[in-house]
Amino acid sequence: MEQHELVVFTLRVLDQLQIPYALVGSMASGVYGEGRMTADIDILIDLQPEMVLPLCQAFPAAEFYVSESAAREATRFRKQFNVIHVASGNKIDFMLPSDTEWGRTQLQRRRLEQIFPASPGYVAAPEDVILSKMRYYNEGQSDKHLRDITGMIRTLGDGLDYPFLDRCADELGVEHIWKAIQERLRMDDGSSSFDVPF
């Protein structure tokens, strides 16, 4: 199963089970900005305890690896768990919203977008994708998140809600990254590699 086929299959499962979701991570930033290859498919879900078993059962054991106990733990502690397509190694990371005001309201802001031709699905709002990637960068210092963010900003421009980004970046403790990104973009002509100057 190719990665795009796994995405389409998974979103269909979530729709059928009526589990609220939003595509996040680099696949989401590719919808709004510049696409790139990504190892994992990140999906934010509002998974209630009674839906853990139906969700796990929707991925047949003959094709997929999924741990019901890991899914239950993720639901309880607002963590993440994964589903792996064994033959291809392609992986879905299911993430539970963080227990913060920003985290709890992410799914309310999701948007129905064309993820692939003839394959619509819900994607986190671009502002939420940017905020998530700043948090990832803050944790791991991986430049790929900065490239994704700047690609989105260059593509969407004034279409972004900058006051919302300012407020949430401050609340999430990534305002220093957000200010550095904006300053660098003001100085950058788009031809150089991106680097947050700390």
pLDDT, one tens digit per residue, over 21-76 is 999 999 999 999 887 767 789 999 999 999 999 999 999 999 999 999 999 999 99
- Quote the domain boundaries for residue 116: 3-124
Tally of domains in the chain = 2
- CATH number, domain at 67? 3.30.460
pLDDT, one tens digit per residue, over 162-174 is 999 999 999 999 9
**Is the same domain home to 108 and 138?**
no
**Which pLDDT band, with edges at 50, 70 and 90, does 190 fall under?**
low
Q: Is the pLDDT of residue 196 over 60?
A: no
**Is the same domain home to 9 and 72?**
yes
CA 5 to chain centre: 18
Angle between helices 162-171 and 126-140 (to 10 degrees): 30
Tokens 């309880």 found at: 76
Q: Indicate the pTM of the whole model.
A: 0.89
Radius of gyration of the chain (CA): 17
